[in-house]
Amino acid sequence: MLERKKTYKEVYDSFRWEIPEFYNIGVDVCDKWAEDKHRLCLIYEDEAGNIEKFSFWEIKNLSNQLANALRELGVARGERIAILLGQVPETVVSHVAAYKLGAIALPLFTLFGPEALEYRLKDSAAKILVTDSDNVEKVLSIRDNLGELRHIIVTDGGGDKETLSYKALLGKASRKFTAEKTKAEDPALLIYTSGTTGPPKGALHAHRVLLGHLPGVEFPHNFFPQKGDLFWTPADWAWAGGLLDVLLPSLHHGIPVVAFRVRKFDPERAFYLVEKHGIRNSFMPPTALKMMREVSKPLKRFPEFNIRSIGSGGETLGEEVLRWGREELKITINEFYGMTEVNLVVGNCYEVMEIKPDSMGKAIPGHIVDIVDEKGRILSPGETGEVAVKGPDPVMLLEYWGKPEATKEKFVGDWWLTGDLARKDEDGYFYFLGRKDDLISSAGYRIGPSEIEACLIKHPAVAMAAAIGSPDELRGEIVKAFIQLKVGYQATKDLSTEIQEFVKKRLSAHEYPREIEFLKELPLTATGKIRRADLRKLEIERKRSKT
Protein backbone atom coordinates (compact mmCIF):
# COMPACT_ATOMS: atom_id res chain seq x y z
CA MET A 1 0.00 0.00 0.00
CA LEU A 2 1.30 3.43 -0.91
CA GLU A 3 2.41 5.69 1.91
CA ARG A 4 1.34 9.31 1.81
CA LYS A 5 4.42 11.56 1.55
CA LYS A 6 4.93 15.25 0.87
CA THR A 7 6.29 14.91 -2.64
CA TYR A 8 5.95 12.62 -5.64
CA LYS A 9 9.64 11.69 -5.40
CA GLU A 10 9.25 10.59 -1.78
CA VAL A 11 6.28 8.39 -2.68
CA TYR A 12 8.01 6.90 -5.73
CA ASP A 13 11.36 6.27 -4.03
CA SER A 14 9.87 4.68 -0.90
CA PHE A 15 7.66 2.12 -2.67
CA ARG A 16 8.69 -1.54 -2.71
CA TRP A 17 6.81 -4.49 -4.25
CA GLU A 18 5.73 -7.28 -1.90
CA ILE A 19 4.73 -10.20 -4.12
CA PRO A 20 4.51 -13.51 -2.21
CA GLU A 21 5.35 -16.83 -3.86
CA PHE A 22 1.84 -18.18 -3.26
CA TYR A 23 -1.16 -15.95 -3.82
CA ASN A 24 -4.79 -16.41 -4.90
CA ILE A 25 -7.00 -13.52 -5.99
CA GLY A 26 -10.21 -15.19 -4.82
CA VAL A 27 -8.95 -15.71 -1.28
CA ASP A 28 -7.49 -12.21 -1.18
CA VAL A 29 -10.57 -10.27 -2.31
CA CYS A 30 -13.13 -12.30 -0.41
CA ASP A 31 -12.19 -14.96 2.13
CA LYS A 32 -9.71 -12.86 4.11
CA TRP A 33 -12.55 -10.43 5.01
CA ALA A 34 -15.29 -13.01 5.58
CA GLU A 35 -14.64 -13.67 9.26
CA ASP A 36 -16.63 -10.51 9.98
CA LYS A 37 -20.02 -11.77 8.81
CA HIS A 38 -21.43 -8.27 8.48
CA ARG A 39 -18.61 -6.56 6.59
CA LEU A 40 -20.18 -5.03 3.48
CA CYS A 41 -18.82 -6.17 0.12
CA LEU A 42 -21.34 -5.15 -2.53
CA ILE A 43 -24.28 -2.78 -3.00
CA TYR A 44 -26.25 -3.84 -6.06
CA GLU A 45 -28.86 -1.57 -7.64
CA ASP A 46 -30.80 -2.75 -10.68
CA GLU A 47 -32.23 -0.51 -13.41
CA ALA A 48 -35.55 -0.24 -11.56
CA GLY A 49 -33.79 1.09 -8.44
CA ASN A 50 -34.12 -2.07 -6.31
CA ILE A 51 -31.18 -2.53 -3.95
CA GLU A 52 -29.53 -5.65 -2.51
CA LYS A 53 -26.52 -5.77 -0.21
CA PHE A 54 -24.00 -8.59 0.15
CA SER A 55 -21.37 -9.15 2.83
CA PHE A 56 -17.97 -10.72 2.21
CA TRP A 57 -19.21 -13.72 4.20
CA GLU A 58 -22.15 -14.19 1.82
CA ILE A 59 -19.92 -13.87 -1.27
CA LYS A 60 -17.52 -16.41 0.25
CA ASN A 61 -20.31 -18.94 0.76
CA LEU A 62 -21.80 -18.40 -2.71
CA SER A 63 -18.41 -18.62 -4.42
CA ASN A 64 -17.59 -21.81 -2.49
CA GLN A 65 -20.86 -23.34 -3.64
CA LEU A 66 -20.19 -22.37 -7.26
CA ALA A 67 -16.60 -23.64 -7.07
CA ASN A 68 -17.85 -27.00 -5.79
CA ALA A 69 -20.50 -27.15 -8.52
CA LEU A 70 -17.93 -26.33 -11.22
CA ARG A 71 -15.58 -28.99 -9.91
CA GLU A 72 -18.43 -31.51 -10.11
CA LEU A 73 -18.86 -30.48 -13.76
CA GLY A 74 -15.24 -31.45 -14.35
CA VAL A 75 -13.58 -28.02 -14.42
CA ALA A 76 -9.86 -28.51 -13.95
CA ARG A 77 -7.10 -26.14 -12.95
CA GLY A 78 -6.13 -23.84 -15.81
CA GLU A 79 -9.37 -24.26 -17.77
CA ARG A 80 -11.26 -21.17 -18.91
CA ILE A 81 -14.54 -20.08 -17.34
CA ALA A 82 -16.30 -17.43 -19.44
CA ILE A 83 -18.39 -14.85 -17.58
CA LEU A 84 -20.95 -13.08 -19.78
CA LEU A 85 -22.64 -10.88 -17.19
CA GLY A 86 -22.92 -7.19 -16.33
CA GLN A 87 -22.39 -5.43 -13.02
CA VAL A 88 -24.34 -7.99 -10.98
CA PRO A 89 -23.54 -10.04 -7.84
CA GLU A 90 -23.19 -13.25 -9.85
CA THR A 91 -20.25 -11.70 -11.70
CA VAL A 92 -18.34 -11.27 -8.44
CA VAL A 93 -19.27 -14.79 -7.32
CA SER A 94 -18.15 -16.28 -10.64
CA HIS A 95 -14.79 -14.51 -10.62
CA VAL A 96 -14.02 -15.49 -7.03
CA ALA A 97 -15.05 -19.11 -7.68
CA ALA A 98 -12.86 -19.32 -10.80
CA TYR A 99 -9.81 -18.02 -8.97
CA LYS A 100 -10.33 -20.36 -6.01
CA LEU A 101 -10.52 -23.29 -8.43
CA GLY A 102 -7.22 -22.32 -10.03
CA ALA A 103 -9.15 -21.87 -13.28
CA ILE A 104 -8.85 -18.87 -15.61
CA ALA A 105 -11.65 -16.28 -15.63
CA LEU A 106 -12.67 -14.95 -19.06
CA PRO A 107 -14.83 -11.82 -18.74
CA LEU A 108 -17.06 -11.01 -21.73
CA PHE A 109 -19.00 -7.82 -22.46
CA THR A 110 -22.77 -8.23 -22.57
CA LEU A 111 -23.14 -5.92 -25.59
CA PHE A 112 -21.03 -8.25 -27.73
CA GLY A 113 -22.92 -9.79 -30.63
CA PRO A 114 -22.70 -13.47 -31.60
CA GLU A 115 -19.65 -13.03 -33.85
CA ALA A 116 -17.61 -11.22 -31.19
CA LEU A 117 -18.55 -13.86 -28.61
CA GLU A 118 -17.76 -16.73 -30.96
CA TYR A 119 -14.29 -15.35 -31.70
CA ARG A 120 -13.36 -15.06 -28.01
CA LEU A 121 -14.96 -18.33 -26.89
CA LYS A 122 -13.30 -20.30 -29.69
CA ASP A 123 -9.93 -18.60 -29.35
CA SER A 124 -9.84 -19.25 -25.59
CA ALA A 125 -11.37 -22.75 -25.83
CA ALA A 126 -13.61 -21.89 -22.87
CA LYS A 127 -15.13 -24.92 -21.14
CA ILE A 128 -17.89 -23.23 -19.11
CA LEU A 129 -19.97 -20.11 -19.70
CA VAL A 130 -21.92 -18.31 -16.96
CA THR A 131 -24.54 -15.91 -18.32
CA ASP A 132 -28.14 -14.76 -17.87
CA SER A 133 -31.43 -15.00 -19.76
CA ASP A 134 -30.79 -11.71 -21.55
CA ASN A 135 -27.66 -13.08 -23.24
CA VAL A 136 -28.08 -16.84 -23.45
CA GLU A 137 -29.78 -16.81 -26.87
CA LYS A 138 -26.73 -15.20 -28.46
CA VAL A 139 -24.60 -18.05 -27.18
CA LEU A 140 -27.08 -20.76 -28.17
CA SER A 141 -27.13 -19.36 -31.71
CA ILE A 142 -23.40 -20.15 -32.04
CA ARG A 143 -23.27 -23.22 -29.79
CA ASP A 144 -22.64 -25.62 -32.69
CA ASN A 145 -19.43 -23.73 -33.51
CA LEU A 146 -18.08 -23.99 -29.96
CA GLY A 147 -16.77 -27.52 -29.74
CA GLU A 148 -14.84 -26.95 -26.50
CA LEU A 149 -17.77 -25.43 -24.59
CA ARG A 150 -19.23 -28.11 -22.31
CA HIS A 151 -21.83 -26.28 -20.22
CA ILE A 152 -23.82 -23.03 -20.24
CA ILE A 153 -24.97 -21.91 -16.78
CA VAL A 154 -27.84 -19.41 -16.60
CA THR A 155 -28.09 -17.31 -13.45
CA ASP A 156 -31.82 -16.50 -13.72
CA GLY A 157 -33.17 -19.54 -15.53
CA GLY A 158 -31.74 -22.59 -17.22
CA GLY A 159 -32.30 -26.19 -16.33
CA ASP A 160 -33.41 -27.25 -19.81
CA LYS A 161 -31.67 -29.63 -22.24
CA GLU A 162 -29.21 -26.94 -23.39
CA THR A 163 -28.44 -25.05 -20.17
CA LEU A 164 -27.90 -25.52 -16.45
CA SER A 165 -29.52 -23.57 -13.66
CA TYR A 166 -27.10 -21.53 -11.52
CA LYS A 167 -29.49 -21.57 -8.58
CA ALA A 168 -30.02 -25.33 -8.79
CA LEU A 169 -26.28 -25.99 -8.96
CA LEU A 170 -25.60 -23.83 -5.92
CA GLY A 171 -28.51 -25.34 -4.05
CA LYS A 172 -26.90 -28.79 -4.19
CA ALA A 173 -23.35 -27.64 -3.41
CA SER A 174 -21.51 -27.36 -0.11
CA ARG A 175 -20.53 -23.99 1.31
CA LYS A 176 -17.15 -25.41 2.30
CA PHE A 177 -14.35 -25.30 -0.22
CA THR A 178 -10.57 -25.27 0.08
CA ALA A 179 -9.05 -22.98 -2.50
CA GLU A 180 -6.30 -24.30 -4.75
CA LYS A 181 -2.83 -23.31 -3.63
CA THR A 182 -1.83 -21.08 -6.53
CA LYS A 183 1.43 -19.27 -7.08
CA ALA A 184 1.45 -15.56 -7.84
CA GLU A 185 2.80 -16.47 -11.30
CA ASP A 186 0.00 -18.94 -12.10
CA PRO A 187 -2.51 -17.82 -14.77
CA ALA A 188 -5.78 -16.38 -13.44
CA LEU A 189 -7.37 -14.00 -15.94
CA LEU A 190 -7.76 -13.90 -19.73
CA ILE A 191 -8.99 -10.52 -20.82
CA TYR A 192 -9.23 -9.56 -24.49
CA THR A 193 -8.00 -6.26 -25.89
CA SER A 194 -10.60 -3.91 -27.35
CA GLY A 195 -9.32 -4.46 -30.88
CA THR A 196 -8.72 -0.82 -31.84
CA THR A 197 -5.73 -1.72 -34.08
CA GLY A 198 -6.60 -5.26 -35.27
CA PRO A 199 -8.26 -8.48 -34.11
CA PRO A 200 -8.60 -8.67 -30.32
CA LYS A 201 -5.87 -10.60 -28.54
CA GLY A 202 -6.26 -12.43 -25.26
CA ALA A 203 -3.97 -10.97 -22.59
CA LEU A 204 -3.23 -13.76 -20.10
CA HIS A 205 -2.54 -12.44 -16.62
CA ALA A 206 -1.24 -14.14 -13.50
CA HIS A 207 -2.74 -13.88 -10.01
CA ARG A 208 -0.09 -11.23 -9.27
CA VAL A 209 -1.81 -8.84 -11.69
CA LEU A 210 -4.08 -7.61 -8.91
CA LEU A 211 -1.14 -6.78 -6.64
CA GLY A 212 0.47 -5.07 -9.63
CA HIS A 213 -2.58 -2.83 -10.04
CA LEU A 214 -2.74 -1.61 -6.45
CA PRO A 215 -0.34 1.37 -6.64
CA GLY A 216 -1.98 2.41 -9.93
CA VAL A 217 -5.35 2.58 -8.14
CA GLU A 218 -4.14 4.03 -4.85
CA PHE A 219 -2.10 6.87 -6.42
CA PRO A 220 -4.67 8.59 -8.72
CA HIS A 221 -7.35 8.11 -6.08
CA ASN A 222 -5.35 10.18 -3.62
CA PHE A 223 -4.01 7.35 -1.47
CA PHE A 224 -7.03 5.09 -1.58
CA PRO A 225 -8.40 3.71 0.67
CA GLN A 226 -9.41 6.39 3.16
CA LYS A 227 -12.08 6.22 5.84
CA GLY A 228 -15.56 6.21 4.30
CA ASP A 229 -14.42 5.33 0.78
CA LEU A 230 -16.95 3.66 -1.52
CA PHE A 231 -16.21 2.86 -5.18
CA TRP A 232 -18.30 2.84 -8.35
CA THR A 233 -17.55 2.99 -12.06
CA PRO A 234 -19.80 3.10 -15.14
CA ALA A 235 -17.14 0.98 -16.88
CA ASP A 236 -18.21 -2.62 -17.35
CA TRP A 237 -16.49 -5.25 -15.21
CA ALA A 238 -15.71 -7.21 -18.38
CA TRP A 239 -12.92 -4.72 -19.09
CA ALA A 240 -9.65 -3.97 -17.32
CA GLY A 241 -11.01 -0.53 -16.41
CA GLY A 242 -13.95 -1.92 -14.43
CA LEU A 243 -12.46 -5.15 -13.15
CA LEU A 244 -8.84 -4.27 -12.35
CA ASP A 245 -9.12 -0.52 -11.80
CA VAL A 246 -12.11 -0.73 -9.47
CA LEU A 247 -13.76 -4.02 -8.46
CA LEU A 248 -10.88 -6.27 -7.44
CA PRO A 249 -8.61 -3.57 -5.90
CA SER A 250 -11.52 -2.28 -3.79
CA LEU A 251 -12.34 -5.74 -2.49
CA HIS A 252 -8.63 -6.40 -1.85
CA HIS A 253 -8.77 -3.46 0.58
CA GLY A 254 -12.10 -4.56 2.06
CA ILE A 255 -13.85 -1.51 0.57
CA PRO A 256 -17.38 -2.11 -0.76
CA VAL A 257 -18.30 -1.50 -4.39
CA VAL A 258 -21.55 -0.19 -5.84
CA ALA A 259 -22.74 -2.34 -8.75
CA PHE A 260 -24.88 -0.41 -11.20
CA ARG A 261 -24.70 -0.19 -14.97
CA VAL A 262 -27.30 0.45 -17.64
CA ARG A 263 -26.97 -0.22 -21.37
CA LYS A 264 -26.76 3.50 -22.20
CA PHE A 265 -24.86 5.83 -19.88
CA ASP A 266 -27.09 8.53 -18.40
CA PRO A 267 -25.04 11.43 -16.99
CA GLU A 268 -27.84 12.77 -14.80
CA ARG A 269 -28.44 9.34 -13.29
CA ALA A 270 -24.70 9.08 -12.64
CA PHE A 271 -24.84 12.24 -10.54
CA TYR A 272 -27.94 10.95 -8.78
CA LEU A 273 -26.34 7.56 -8.07
CA VAL A 274 -23.21 9.11 -6.55
CA GLU A 275 -25.33 11.33 -4.33
CA LYS A 276 -27.79 8.57 -3.38
CA HIS A 277 -25.18 6.05 -2.20
CA GLY A 278 -22.59 8.49 -0.92
CA ILE A 279 -20.04 7.21 -3.45
CA ARG A 280 -16.61 8.65 -2.72
CA ASN A 281 -14.42 7.25 -5.50
CA SER A 282 -14.96 6.62 -9.18
CA PHE A 283 -13.13 5.63 -12.32
CA MET A 284 -14.82 7.68 -15.04
CA PRO A 285 -13.74 7.18 -18.66
CA PRO A 286 -13.24 10.50 -20.51
CA THR A 287 -16.33 9.81 -22.64
CA ALA A 288 -18.50 9.61 -19.51
CA LEU A 289 -17.01 12.83 -18.11
CA LYS A 290 -17.59 14.66 -21.37
CA MET A 291 -21.24 13.60 -21.23
CA MET A 292 -21.52 14.64 -17.57
CA ARG A 293 -20.13 18.04 -18.56
CA GLU A 294 -23.46 18.65 -20.32
CA VAL A 295 -25.34 18.60 -17.00
CA SER A 296 -25.68 22.24 -15.92
CA LYS A 297 -24.98 23.35 -12.34
CA PRO A 298 -24.50 19.78 -11.04
CA LEU A 299 -23.69 20.70 -7.43
CA LYS A 300 -26.79 22.86 -7.19
CA ARG A 301 -28.97 20.07 -8.55
CA PHE A 302 -27.19 17.34 -6.54
CA PRO A 303 -26.09 19.15 -3.34
CA GLU A 304 -24.94 15.97 -1.57
CA PHE A 305 -22.64 14.95 -4.42
CA ASN A 306 -19.45 14.65 -2.38
CA ILE A 307 -17.01 12.52 -4.33
CA ARG A 308 -13.43 12.38 -3.00
CA SER A 309 -11.54 11.10 -6.03
CA ILE A 310 -12.09 10.66 -9.74
CA GLY A 311 -9.57 8.82 -11.89
CA SER A 312 -9.86 8.85 -15.66
CA GLY A 313 -8.08 7.02 -18.46
CA GLY A 314 -8.50 5.28 -21.79
CA GLU A 315 -8.47 8.43 -23.92
CA THR A 316 -6.85 11.82 -23.40
CA LEU A 317 -8.87 13.85 -20.89
CA GLY A 318 -7.99 17.33 -22.14
CA GLU A 319 -7.55 20.65 -20.35
CA GLU A 320 -11.21 21.64 -20.77
CA VAL A 321 -12.56 18.61 -18.87
CA LEU A 322 -9.94 19.15 -16.16
CA ARG A 323 -11.06 22.78 -15.81
CA TRP A 324 -14.72 21.72 -15.69
CA GLY A 325 -14.00 19.24 -12.89
CA ARG A 326 -12.32 21.89 -10.77
CA GLU A 327 -14.95 24.57 -11.38
CA GLU A 328 -18.15 22.52 -11.43
CA LEU A 329 -17.34 19.50 -9.21
CA LYS A 330 -14.76 21.15 -6.94
CA ILE A 331 -12.36 18.28 -7.54
CA THR A 332 -9.18 17.73 -9.52
CA ILE A 333 -9.60 14.73 -11.82
CA ASN A 334 -6.48 12.57 -11.86
CA GLU A 335 -5.73 11.26 -15.34
CA PHE A 336 -3.88 7.95 -15.67
CA TYR A 337 -2.62 5.69 -18.42
CA GLY A 338 -2.43 1.98 -19.11
CA MET A 339 -3.69 -0.80 -21.33
CA THR A 340 -5.13 -4.29 -21.02
CA GLU A 341 -1.68 -5.86 -21.28
CA VAL A 342 0.22 -3.53 -18.91
CA ASN A 343 -2.21 -1.35 -17.00
CA LEU A 344 -2.01 1.71 -14.74
CA VAL A 345 1.68 2.55 -15.10
CA VAL A 346 1.47 6.35 -15.47
CA GLY A 347 -0.78 8.71 -13.53
CA ASN A 348 -1.45 11.86 -11.57
CA CYS A 349 -2.06 12.48 -7.88
CA TYR A 350 -2.82 16.11 -7.11
CA GLU A 351 -1.98 15.65 -3.42
CA VAL A 352 1.73 15.22 -4.13
CA MET A 353 2.33 16.73 -7.59
CA GLU A 354 1.38 19.56 -9.87
CA ILE A 355 -1.23 18.61 -12.44
CA LYS A 356 -0.09 19.73 -15.86
CA PRO A 357 -2.93 20.12 -18.38
CA ASP A 358 -2.96 17.47 -21.14
CA SER A 359 -0.39 15.34 -19.30
CA MET A 360 -1.04 11.71 -18.33
CA GLY A 361 1.16 12.25 -15.28
CA LYS A 362 4.35 10.55 -14.15
CA ALA A 363 5.39 6.92 -13.69
CA ILE A 364 3.29 5.26 -10.98
CA PRO A 365 5.38 4.09 -8.00
CA GLY A 366 6.72 0.60 -8.65
CA HIS A 367 6.87 0.97 -12.45
CA ILE A 368 9.75 2.00 -14.71
CA VAL A 369 8.31 3.81 -17.73
CA ASP A 370 10.08 5.82 -20.41
CA ILE A 371 9.99 7.01 -24.02
CA VAL A 372 12.12 4.90 -26.35
CA ASP A 373 12.93 4.59 -30.05
CA GLU A 374 12.43 1.45 -32.15
CA LYS A 375 15.69 0.00 -30.81
CA GLY A 376 14.75 0.51 -27.17
CA ARG A 377 17.03 3.50 -26.60
CA ILE A 378 15.70 6.02 -24.08
CA LEU A 379 14.99 9.37 -25.76
CA SER A 380 15.74 12.81 -24.41
CA PRO A 381 13.00 15.01 -22.89
CA GLY A 382 10.79 16.51 -25.57
CA GLU A 383 11.50 13.85 -28.19
CA THR A 384 8.63 11.82 -29.61
CA GLY A 385 8.86 8.06 -29.21
CA GLU A 386 6.99 5.04 -27.93
CA VAL A 387 5.83 4.58 -24.35
CA ALA A 388 7.68 1.58 -22.92
CA VAL A 389 7.42 -0.28 -19.61
CA LYS A 390 10.42 -2.14 -18.24
CA GLY A 391 9.95 -5.75 -17.21
CA PRO A 392 9.67 -7.76 -15.18
CA ASP A 393 6.66 -5.95 -13.75
CA PRO A 394 3.84 -7.56 -11.72
CA VAL A 395 1.15 -5.80 -13.75
CA MET A 396 2.53 -7.13 -17.04
CA LEU A 397 0.75 -9.94 -18.89
CA LEU A 398 2.23 -13.43 -19.02
CA GLU A 399 1.62 -13.68 -22.77
CA TYR A 400 -0.89 -13.19 -25.55
CA TRP A 401 -3.05 -16.31 -25.48
CA GLY A 402 -1.84 -18.75 -28.12
CA LYS A 403 0.29 -16.09 -29.83
CA PRO A 404 3.93 -16.45 -28.71
CA GLU A 405 5.26 -14.52 -31.70
CA ALA A 406 2.91 -11.58 -31.07
CA THR A 407 4.13 -11.52 -27.45
CA LYS A 408 7.77 -11.60 -28.51
CA GLU A 409 7.26 -8.76 -30.99
CA LYS A 410 6.15 -6.41 -28.21
CA PHE A 411 9.53 -6.54 -26.49
CA VAL A 412 12.81 -4.81 -27.26
CA GLY A 413 15.16 -6.14 -24.62
CA ASP A 414 13.38 -5.70 -21.28
CA TRP A 415 11.08 -2.97 -22.63
CA TRP A 416 7.43 -3.72 -23.39
CA LEU A 417 6.46 -1.46 -26.30
CA THR A 418 2.93 -0.15 -25.85
CA GLY A 419 2.33 1.04 -29.41
CA ASP A 420 1.50 4.52 -28.08
CA LEU A 421 3.44 7.61 -29.10
CA ALA A 422 4.22 10.22 -26.48
CA ARG A 423 6.86 12.60 -25.22
CA LYS A 424 8.19 13.19 -21.72
CA ASP A 425 9.21 16.58 -20.37
CA GLU A 426 12.19 17.38 -18.15
CA ASP A 427 10.04 16.94 -15.02
CA GLY A 428 9.03 13.38 -15.97
CA TYR A 429 5.47 14.15 -17.16
CA PHE A 430 4.19 12.09 -20.10
CA TYR A 431 2.13 13.61 -22.94
CA PHE A 432 0.12 11.18 -25.08
CA LEU A 433 0.19 11.88 -28.81
CA GLY A 434 -1.72 8.88 -30.19
CA ARG A 435 -1.43 5.28 -31.27
CA LYS A 436 1.37 4.65 -33.76
CA ASP A 437 -1.35 3.66 -36.23
CA ASP A 438 -3.18 6.96 -35.53
CA LEU A 439 -0.19 9.18 -36.39
CA ILE A 440 -0.96 11.74 -39.11
CA SER A 441 1.81 12.46 -41.62
CA SER A 442 1.13 15.76 -43.38
CA ALA A 443 3.63 17.63 -45.57
CA GLY A 444 6.54 16.15 -43.61
CA TYR A 445 5.00 16.84 -40.19
CA ARG A 446 4.22 13.99 -37.78
CA ILE A 447 1.02 14.96 -35.97
CA GLY A 448 -0.64 13.14 -33.09
CA PRO A 449 -4.46 13.37 -32.93
CA SER A 450 -4.80 13.80 -29.16
CA GLU A 451 -3.58 17.40 -28.98
CA ILE A 452 -5.94 18.41 -31.78
CA GLU A 453 -8.90 16.64 -30.14
CA ALA A 454 -8.13 18.24 -26.77
CA CYS A 455 -8.16 21.65 -28.45
CA LEU A 456 -11.37 20.96 -30.36
CA ILE A 457 -13.41 20.13 -27.24
CA LYS A 458 -12.49 23.50 -25.76
CA HIS A 459 -14.77 25.08 -28.35
CA PRO A 460 -18.18 25.74 -26.77
CA ALA A 461 -20.05 23.90 -29.56
CA VAL A 462 -18.02 20.67 -29.46
CA ALA A 463 -19.07 17.71 -27.31
CA MET A 464 -16.66 15.11 -28.71
CA ALA A 465 -14.07 15.05 -31.49
CA ALA A 466 -11.80 12.70 -33.40
CA ALA A 467 -8.88 13.67 -35.65
CA ILE A 468 -7.51 11.44 -38.40
CA GLY A 469 -5.28 11.67 -41.44
CA SER A 470 -7.27 11.90 -44.69
CA PRO A 471 -5.45 11.00 -47.96
CA ASP A 472 -4.29 14.05 -49.91
CA GLU A 473 -2.31 14.17 -53.18
CA LEU A 474 -0.29 17.25 -52.23
CA ARG A 475 0.43 16.70 -48.52
CA GLY A 476 0.15 12.91 -48.29
CA GLU A 477 -2.46 13.40 -45.58
CA ILE A 478 -4.39 16.31 -44.18
CA VAL A 479 -5.89 16.60 -40.72
CA LYS A 480 -9.62 15.90 -40.77
CA ALA A 481 -11.85 16.27 -37.72
CA PHE A 482 -15.10 14.41 -37.05
CA ILE A 483 -17.17 16.35 -34.56
CA GLN A 484 -20.18 15.57 -32.40
CA LEU A 485 -21.88 18.82 -31.44
CA LYS A 486 -23.43 19.75 -28.13
CA VAL A 487 -27.20 19.97 -27.91
CA GLY A 488 -28.46 23.28 -29.31
CA TYR A 489 -25.80 23.75 -32.00
CA GLN A 490 -26.37 23.27 -35.71
CA ALA A 491 -23.84 21.92 -38.21
CA THR A 492 -23.15 24.80 -40.61
CA LYS A 493 -20.31 25.91 -42.87
CA ASP A 494 -19.82 29.01 -40.73
CA LEU A 495 -19.45 26.91 -37.60
CA SER A 496 -16.96 24.67 -39.38
CA THR A 497 -14.85 27.70 -40.35
CA GLU A 498 -15.10 29.09 -36.83
CA ILE A 499 -13.84 25.81 -35.33
CA GLN A 500 -10.95 25.68 -37.82
CA GLU A 501 -9.84 29.18 -36.87
CA PHE A 502 -10.25 28.33 -33.19
CA VAL A 503 -7.73 25.47 -33.51
CA LYS A 504 -5.36 27.35 -35.83
CA LYS A 505 -4.98 30.19 -33.32
CA ARG A 506 -4.35 27.82 -30.41
CA LEU A 507 -2.11 25.20 -32.02
CA SER A 508 -0.41 25.83 -35.36
CA ALA A 509 -1.14 26.20 -39.05
CA HIS A 510 -0.07 22.64 -39.88
CA GLU A 511 -2.23 21.06 -37.14
CA TYR A 512 -5.62 22.64 -37.69
CA PRO A 513 -8.26 20.43 -39.39
CA ARG A 514 -8.45 21.35 -43.06
CA GLU A 515 -11.69 19.36 -43.26
CA ILE A 516 -14.46 19.02 -40.70
CA GLU A 517 -17.37 16.61 -40.79
CA PHE A 518 -20.19 16.67 -38.27
CA LEU A 519 -21.60 13.36 -37.03
CA LYS A 520 -24.53 12.66 -34.73
CA GLU A 521 -22.38 10.13 -32.85
CA LEU A 522 -18.74 9.11 -33.05
CA PRO A 523 -17.97 5.38 -33.35
CA LEU A 524 -16.77 4.06 -30.00
CA THR A 525 -15.35 0.79 -28.75
CA ALA A 526 -17.22 -1.01 -26.00
CA THR A 527 -14.85 0.67 -23.53
CA GLY A 528 -15.66 4.17 -24.78
CA LYS A 529 -12.56 4.78 -26.91
CA ILE A 530 -12.99 6.49 -30.25
CA ARG A 531 -12.59 4.07 -33.15
CA ARG A 532 -10.34 6.22 -35.33
CA ALA A 533 -9.58 3.15 -37.44
CA ASP A 534 -13.26 3.05 -38.51
CA LEU A 535 -13.16 6.73 -39.43
CA ARG A 536 -9.92 6.29 -41.41
CA LYS A 537 -11.39 3.32 -43.28
CA LEU A 538 -14.53 5.32 -44.11
CA GLU A 539 -12.46 8.25 -45.35
CA ILE A 540 -10.13 6.12 -47.49
CA GLU A 541 -13.09 4.35 -49.11
CA ARG A 542 -14.71 7.70 -49.89
CA LYS A 543 -11.54 9.08 -51.48
CA ARG A 544 -11.08 5.94 -53.56
CA SER A 545 -14.66 6.06 -54.84
CA LYS A 546 -14.06 9.61 -56.12
CA THR A 547 -10.99 8.66 -58.16
Give residue 515's identity as a one-letter amino acid code: E
Express each pLDDT in 527-541 by its tens digit: 677 888 889 888 888
Express each pLDDT in 119-164 by its tens digit: 999 999 999 999 999 999 999 999 999 999 999 999 999 889 999 9
Contact 522, 534 (CB under 8 A): no
Return the pLDDT at 454. Answer: 84
Question: What CA–CA distance (Å, rounded) separates 200 from 401?
Answer: 11
Whether pLDDT at 467 is above 60 = yes
Q: Assign domain 439-546 one CATH number from 3.40.190.10, 3.10.20.30, 3.30.300.30, 3.90.400.10.
A: 3.30.300.30
Task: Give me the helix-helix angle, 449-456 and 493-506, nearest 10°.
Answer: 120
More confident residue, 539 or 65: 65
Whether pLDDT at 443 is above 70 = no
Express each pLDDT in 16-34 by its tens digit: 999 999 999 999 999 999 9
Alpha helix stretches (DSSP H) within 73-153: 89-101, 114-124, 136-140
Q: How many residues does the chain have?
A: 547
Whether pLDDT at 476 is above 90 = no
Express each pLDDT in 169-220 by its tens digit: 999 999 999 999 999 999 999 999 865 445 789 999 999 999 999 999 999 9
Question: What CA–CA distance (Å, rounded) separates 37 from 43?
Answer: 15
Whether pLDDT at 437 is above 80 = no
Domain boundaries, the chain: 24-182, 439-546
Whether pLDDT at 547 is above 80 = no
User: What's the whole-model pTM score?
Assistant: 0.85
Return the pLDDT at 435. Answer: 75
Q: Which residues pair with 400 in a beta bridge?
A: 203
Contact 463, 500 (CB under 8 A): no
Express each pLDDT in 277-321 by its tens digit: 999 999 998 889 988 999 999 999 999 999 999 999 977 788 889
Residues with Cβ < 8 Å from 249, sequence gap 6 or more?
Answer: 210, 213, 214, 217, 218, 224
> Would you call 372 helix, strand, or coil by DSSP?
strand
Give, in order, the Cα–Cα distances in Å from 43 to each of 49, 244, 368, 385, 438.
Answer: 12, 18, 36, 44, 40
Q: Please say whether the structural domain 24-182 has been given the CATH code 3.40.50.12780.
A: yes
Confidence band of 111 (pLDDT split at 50, 70, 90): confident
- Which range is least confidently modeled, 42-51, 194-203, 486-495? 194-203
Contact 289, 325 (CB under 8 A): yes
> Residues 49, 50, 51, 52: what is their CA dihedral angle, to the nearest 10 degrees?
-150
Whether pLDDT at 472 is above 90 = no
Taking the CB of residue 33, how many other CB atoms lie within 10 A of it? Answer: 21
